[in-house]
Structure 1
Amino acid sequence: MSRSHMQIGVRTQRVRDWWVEFTVPAASGLPRRGVLLTGLLSLLVVFLVLVATAINGTSSGAFFPLIYSGADPALLFGQPNLIRTDEWNVQTVWAITQVQQGLPALNGSFPGGMDSTIPQDLPRLDWTVAFRPHLWGFLFLDVDHAQAWKWWSPVFGLAAATWTFIVSLLPRRPLMAMVLAIAFTASPFFAWWLLQTTLWPVAWGFAVLAAAIWAARSTSRTALWVWRAVVGYLTVVVGMGIYVPFIIPVALVAAFVVTGIAIEASRSRGWATVVRRFSGLVIAGLGAGVILVLWIVTRWDTVDDFLSTAYPGERLEPTGGAANAQGVAAVFGSSFTNSLRHAGTFLNGNASESATFFLPGVFLGAIVLWLAVRERRAGRALPWSALLGYGAVLLLLAFIFVPGWDAVAHALFLDRSTSGRARIGLGFGSMVIVVLLLSRISPRSRPSWLVSSIGPVVFLASQAAIAIGLGVLAPDLLRASGVWWFYAVLGSVAILSVARGWRVVTATALLLISVAATYNVNPVYVGVFDLRTTQPAQTIEALDDAAEGTWVGLGGGLPTALLLESGATSFNGFQGAPGEVMWEAIDPAGAYELEWDRLAGVSWVNGEGEPTVMNPYPDQIRVTFDPCSEFAQENVDHVVSDQTQVPNSSCLRLHEEFRLNGADLKIWQVIPKAG
């Protein structure tokens, strides 16, 4: 062997020795501070780079072809995801509106104003923003970089919490833990539902589990206090998100697994010690509850109005809402995720509603049972965390597929979620089970090939059955799913590798499955498409500055977005709790209260006479507009209409016309009715 090869070998061995020493756990079995900080700082560096470059996944570029011809220079990869209207046509538009108005707590876009904290979660200047970390960028950055901050904050929060949980159980495997965390964060469900209300609850769930592990094992008082602070803070973050259908399933799984961790710890430390250590987390949660109560009390009118709406109001979901073959296929059809990008749906209403997780943990029930038998035979404590975690997953599956136990589901608050939203708990629970098993199974101690093969075989059979059903009933969806068989085989490999203790194979397979299914769901975009830079919005702003008035936008989404981002007061936009002043003007007799008393987008179309209100969909309010009506004459000063709407011009004076690429616009002034 040459001297150069010997030197390389020596250096390689030194690196290996350093790595082994670096990843040696503390005496408690937990990762050392250096490992934790290195992983978290690595994620932080990537986050800051993305914010500095303003790169994010907004689909606000959907407005670009309506204004300009040619290619959008800010679009680096992919195409705007039009189905994600909650992001690009609601939250992003409202965020820019807030910036235009100076980040007020009471947004002035609707007549009478709108609380900017519920439910749109808009950037604002009040104490509650301290618990909305994804909004901090709007306090000190321009809109482009603030959008990147908002986009990536919950993503990296989820990745960091997931990684911390995994590395707390597998301290010698920080790189593998990072791959697993990225794989989970890139799950199709998150990609299609990428909003802070979706990501923060799961980040909270992993933080709670990590905190429980540290409470059970750590000998550092500082570490315990840090975890109490993290749990308390994230509890407020999640609570202020107020989206209960995503919170409840995650909280249920977390409660079951934490109970299991406490039971396991009691065997070695005794219940008195466990209660004392875990009480700190309970106190942190109670402290968070005090903050949330204060927040709710200061905004009780808005909260009460929101909860008493006709839609969504207080919806209670019956058990077994997906108790049919289509429902089963929708939950477990992870191998067919590509159909969402091409066909736009997979057995549900739209791509977001159809999105699911790859659920390896669900198919590892035999391994959980084998582990319990092994531990019992060895005279060791049962793996209560895995058993109760799997029990929570089965409970969620029962809620989705088994009817007839509504009273129990109500007592567990499960009926505040839905069959589709409960998938978030399945995805969370599945990953928890995978990690718990990987921490206990190794090539030296693992089940037989027969037991190991049960999960992979069942998974392959389920995917084959779904494919056969689609081939008969919906062949277009099967074609749109592409190489579904490859995902099915790779998924079975991932399930088998957990059972065999092949940790690197597990992490690699899960990463491939997630990235392949989601890399093109959202575009890669620089900044945000800001309509305030366009000529129509600048004209609206100039008119409003010269003589402040109230507006109506007729037609599609562009007139509404232009009015909002320009900062004008109008009767258009996505409302939370309906405003009394606004609807008193539109519907003074309350004849259409059922139609407008809802969380929904408000749009306008041509009509005759006083406004009539209708609901094309439960979350849409469509109102007719006649400029000669009493409502318009008394309450509206200007109108913006697109080419789909030609209003009665006898009570309008044309101010300016814009020939745009995809949506010609006219701005009108409302004039008195003749005679």
Structure 2
Amino acid sequence: MSRLIQPTRFGLPSLFVSLWFPALLLIAFILLVAFAVSGSSTGVYWSYFGTGQDPSLLLGEPRPIRSDEWLVQSSWVASQYQQGFGVFNQTLPGGMDATVQNDLPTMDWSSIFRPHLLGLLALPFDQGMAVRWWLPAFVMVGACYSFAVSLLPKHPLSAALLSGALFLTPVIQWWFLPTTIWPVALAFLGMTGTVWMLRHPALWVRVGWAAAIAYVAVATAMSIYAPFIVPAALVVVFFLIGFSLSEARSQSVSFQTVLLRLLPLIAAGLGAGAVLSIWIVTRIETIQALLGTVYPGQRFEKTGTVGFEGLIGLMGGPFDQALLNQGVNGLGANQSEASSVLMIALFMVIPLVWLITQQWSESRVVDWLAVSIVTCTMVILAFMFLPGWDSLAHVMFLDRSSASRMRLGLAILGIVAIVVTSERLQSARVRILPWSVSWVASGAVILSVVVPWAYLRTAAPDTIALSPSWKIATLLLMICVVLFTRARLLAGSAAFLLAASIIGLGVNPLYVGVFRLNETAVGTAVQEIDLREPGTWVGIGSVVPTAVLVQAGVEAMNGVQTYPPEEMWDEIDPSGKYEGVWNRLANVGWEPGVGEPSVSTPVRDQIRITFDSCSSFGQKHVDYVLTDVPLDQECAVLIDDFTEGPSQHFIYRVTPG
């Protein structure tokens, strides 16, 4: 084993170290896809249509709060499947570009750069959805492992444990979507590639890493979800600068030589930019429509928006176990918004600062990589808590993110800080840290937990009660910080993984396939009716009628619009009276009313419209109504009703009064 893990002459991991863990990930990925197992929460629909135990649920429980996954994106993917993966989805009248946002499979050239969607184009639906679920996550875990062993080539087991801890980070688990995970994967891939390009002399190695980074960069950028891309990119930029300066000094080469070694990365970046430019130009009208919405439009976040309660949510990582038990009081608005990180990035600033000052005092040499990590951590915290520098934040693109989404950057920085600190401590140039540094770092852990505990004890005692293992998580966090500062990487990594498991394991279930509404009685009936006499549908009531219509692939005025389809809104609001209400990314739903449609937005991502089957709009533009409550309107004639499990659904035909 000693020979197997021996680094190469360039200080990089051996072939065995580089491949054993990714090989295990690949085997696990193949098995999960083959058996169509994912972490989807589409099992939420079982509570509407089933009784007893859901036979597809293997472990855990579906999470209703993850509606972006089970209600929105899964429904649109099913709709695309029904419609044959067209570039324009024809559910909403006028159609909606399926290649921009919602992360949908299409027969468009851009799907080449969406590898997690290719399974849906080639495999059965359930296996394709499993590919969509697992591929970004396995790439992220593999990239994190590769980063760790690139700097610590003799510690493959520790790297695997750290990668598992990253995977179980609450902010990743509660926001588990390709649009969340690809930026993290790109960050670790970019940092790993930087290490290899600056240390390995072979051109083909540098070109290979540059190509991989560029490909994942395009996949990430095509999500157009800047709030998660920005913090990940910020970490990469700081690491690139710091590592380049450090390598130039340690290898005694000029900065021009460093730039020469990075030329493949620069060329790949230009190539990725060219691909994205073509993609943007070929769907510029869609992107302009999206940017022209009231929400999200060109939304910018101000600096220093996090107050005391936001601080509690940020530092409340050990209490995030409460989120598993439906507890969010004092931590955030809901489970996803409340999800945080174990603030290892902040605690590891203490040993990093000591290392920086010690190296400077001994040899007057700046440890640029350590400085860059500390600086990046401070920039993210400053964006959250320090107001008054909006102009600079705008130049740095920070205002394209938000305070809660910036937590993703701290999750990445935590792993980076652990790896860099451990690499410095195992270097012959650095002596062991004094115990005082370890005690100060562990004291910071205690302080970071005492503050939220003192607040929650009076403001939200139920949250503490719903997080019974918070003391264990805190103790493990203290232990791992001390171990990391004592150069005990393996034991520290194990403690960190255990702490992350307490608060992140079990967020998402293990589920066989996805719950397909097209296979319910009402879903089948909708498709059969529309096949006999095609028409336009409206869904009234809960979210279920909307999901049924979207998954059925019929023309319907329901569903999440990424931008307002012109034809549909010309029919609903021909005068443009409500344009300020409906010109947004939002879920469009209907409720019974009298007269012509009235449009309102109870929250910024929801649109509610009144429907009267006898109105001019109803008579002219609507043929069928699907509802889960009886509809008492003269111009709506019941043609079928269904009772499945605890739910009842009614299908009406719109007729003249």
Normalising to structure 1: TM-score of the pair? 0.95
Q: Which residue of 2 aligns with 1:69?
A: 51
Q: How does 1:230-629 map to 2 (within 5 A)?
A: 230-267=212-249, 268=251, 269-322=253-306, 324-345=307-328, 346-379=330-363, 381-442=365-426, 445-629=431-615
What CA distance in whole angstroms lies between the structure 2 residues aligned with 1:397 and 1:265?
Answer: 27
Q: Which moved more, 1:631-640 or 1:430-439?
A: 430-439
Whether 2:151 is the aligned partner of 1:178: answer no
Report if aligned partners of 1:442, 1:500 keep a CA contact under 8 Å in 2: no
Q: Which residue of 2 aligns with 1:15?
A: none
Q: Which residue of 2 aligns with 1:663?
A: 647
Q: Which residue of 2 aligns with 1:157?
A: 139
Counterpart selection for 2:99 from 117, 126, 129: 117
Q: State the 1:460 CA deviation.
A: 0.7
Q: State the 1:443 CA deviation.
A: 10
Q: How does 1:6-155 map to 2 (within 5 A)?
A: 19-155=1-137
What CA distance in whole angstroms lies between the structure 2 residues aligned with 1:356 and 1:125?
Answer: 37
What CA distance in whole angstroms lies between the structure 2 residues aligned with 1:399 and 1:168?
Answer: 30
What CA distance in whole angstroms lies between the structure 2 residues aligned with 1:380 and 1:232?
Answer: 37
What CA distance in whole angstroms lies between the structure 2 residues aligned with 1:327 and 1:537?
Answer: 43
**What value does the CA root-mean-square deviation take over the aligned residues?**
1.3
The structure-2 alpha-carbon separation of the partners of 1:344 and 1:300, relative to structure 1 and needing over 3 Å to count, comes to: farther
Report if aligned partners of 1:343, 1:477 keep a CA contact under 8 Å in 2: no
What CA distance in whole angstroms lies between the structure 1 residues aligned with 2:326 and 2:103?
Answer: 31
Letter in 2 for 1:452: S
Q: Which residue of 2 aligns with 1:212?
A: 194
Q: Secondary structure at the match of 1:649?
A: coil
Letter in 2 for 1:211: G
Letter in 1 for 2:631: P
What CA distance in whole angstroms lies between the structure 2 residues aligned with 1:288 and 1:381?
Answer: 36
Q: State the 1:377 CA deviation.
A: 4.5
Letter in 1 for 2:597: P
Q: State the 1:272 CA deviation.
A: 2.0
Letter in 2 for 1:325: F
Q: Secondary structure at the match of 1:440?
A: helix
Report if aligned partners of 1:554, 1:642 keep a CA contact under 8 Å in 2: yes
Report if aligned partners of 1:180, 1:510 keep a CA contact under 8 Å in 2: yes
What CA distance in whole angstroms lies between the structure 1 residues aligned with 2:525 and 2:286?
Answer: 33
What CA distance in whole angstroms lies between the structure 2 residues aligned with 1:292 and 1:381?
Answer: 41
Q: Which residue of 1 aligns with 2:622?
A: 636
Report if aligned partners of 1:443, 1:502 keep a CA contact under 8 Å in 2: no
What CA distance in whole angstroms lies between the structure 2 residues aligned with 1:116 and 1:418?
Answer: 26
What CA distance in whole angstroms lies between the structure 2 residues aligned with 1:194 and 1:70?
Answer: 27
What CA distance in whole angstroms lies between the structure 1 residues aligned with 2:17 and 2:614?
Answer: 70
What CA distance in whole angstroms lies between the structure 2 residues aligned with 1:308 and 1:34?
Answer: 51
Q: Secondary structure at the match of 1:22?
A: coil
Q: Which residue of 1 aligns with 2:210?
A: 228
**Could you give the per-residue CA deviations for residues 134-170 of structure 1, whole angstroms, max 9, x where no partner exists?**
1111011111111111110111011011011001001
Q: Which moved more, 1:478-487 or 1:252-261?
A: 478-487
What CA distance in whole angstroms lies between the structure 2 residues aligned with 1:435 and 1:241?
Answer: 29
What CA distance in whole angstroms lies between the structure 1 residues aligned with 2:159 and 2:409?
Answer: 21
What CA distance in whole angstroms lies between the structure 1 residues aligned with 2:244 and 2:47?
Answer: 56
Report if aligned partners of 2:327, 2:462 keep a CA contact under 8 Å in 1: no
Counterpart selection for 1:653 from 637, 641, 644: 637
Unaligned runs of 5+ in 2: none
Q: State the 1:325 CA deviation.
A: 1.8
What CA distance in whole angstroms lies between the structure 2 residues aligned with 1:308 and 1:637?
Answer: 31
Q: Secondary structure at the match of 1:605?
A: strand
**Could you give the per-residue CA deviations for residues 377-436 of structure 1, whole angstroms, max 9, x where no partner exists?**
453853211210110110010000111111111111111111111111111112211111
**Could you give the per-residue CA deviations for residues 439-475 of structure 1, whole angstroms, max 9, x where no partner exists?**
1114983211111211110111220121111112221
Q: Secondary structure at the match of 1:389?
A: helix
> How many residues are paired up?
652
Q: Which moved more, 1:151-160 or 1:465-474?
A: 465-474
**Could you give the per-residue CA deviations for residues 493-529 of structure 1, whole angstroms, max 9, x where no partner exists?**
1111111111011110111111221222111100100
Moved over 2 A (4+): 32-35, 373-383, 442-445, 646-649
Q: State the 1:37 CA deviation.
A: 2.4
Q: Secondary structure at the match of 1:553?
A: strand
What CA distance in whole angstroms lies between the structure 1 residues aligned with 2:317 and 2:522?
Answer: 44
Q: Which residue of 2 aligns with 1:8?
A: none
Letter in 2 for 1:588: P
Q: Which residue of 2 aligns with 1:6?
A: none
**Could you give the per-residue CA deviations for residues 258-310 of structure 1, whole angstroms, max 9, x where no partner exists?**
10111012122222210101122111111101100100111111100001100
Letter in 1 for 2:645: N
Normalising to structure 2: TM-score of the pair? 0.97
Q: Secondary structure at the match of 1:672?
A: coil
What CA distance in whole angstroms lies between the structure 1 residues aligned with 2:366 and 2:494?
Answer: 29
Q: State the 1:56 CA deviation.
A: 0.8
Report if aligned partners of 1:360, 1:494 keep a CA contact under 8 Å in 2: no
Q: Secondary structure at the match of 2:644?
A: coil
Q: Which moved more, 1:450-459 or 1:87-96?
A: 450-459
Report if aligned partners of 1:211, 1:231 keep a CA contact under 8 Å in 2: yes
Q: Secondary structure at the match of 1:21?
A: coil
What CA distance in whole angstroms lies between the structure 1 residues aligned with 2:537 and 2:35?
Answer: 36
Report if aligned partners of 2:469, 2:502 keep a CA contact under 8 Å in 1: no
Report if aligned partners of 1:626, 1:648 keep a CA contact under 8 Å in 2: no
What CA distance in whole angstroms lies between the structure 1 residues aligned with 2:548 and 2:235?
Answer: 43
What CA distance in whole angstroms lies between the structure 2 residues aligned with 1:423 and 1:562?
Answer: 35
What CA distance in whole angstroms lies between the structure 2 residues aligned with 1:488 and 1:385?
Answer: 29
What CA distance in whole angstroms lies between the structure 2 residues aligned with 1:577 and 1:366?
Answer: 46
**Could you give the per-residue CA deviations for residues 553-575 of structure 1, whole angstroms, max 9, x where no partner exists?**
11011111111111110000011
Whether 2:147 is the aligned partner of 1:203: answer no
Report if aligned partners of 1:611, 1:631 keep a CA contact under 8 Å in 2: yes
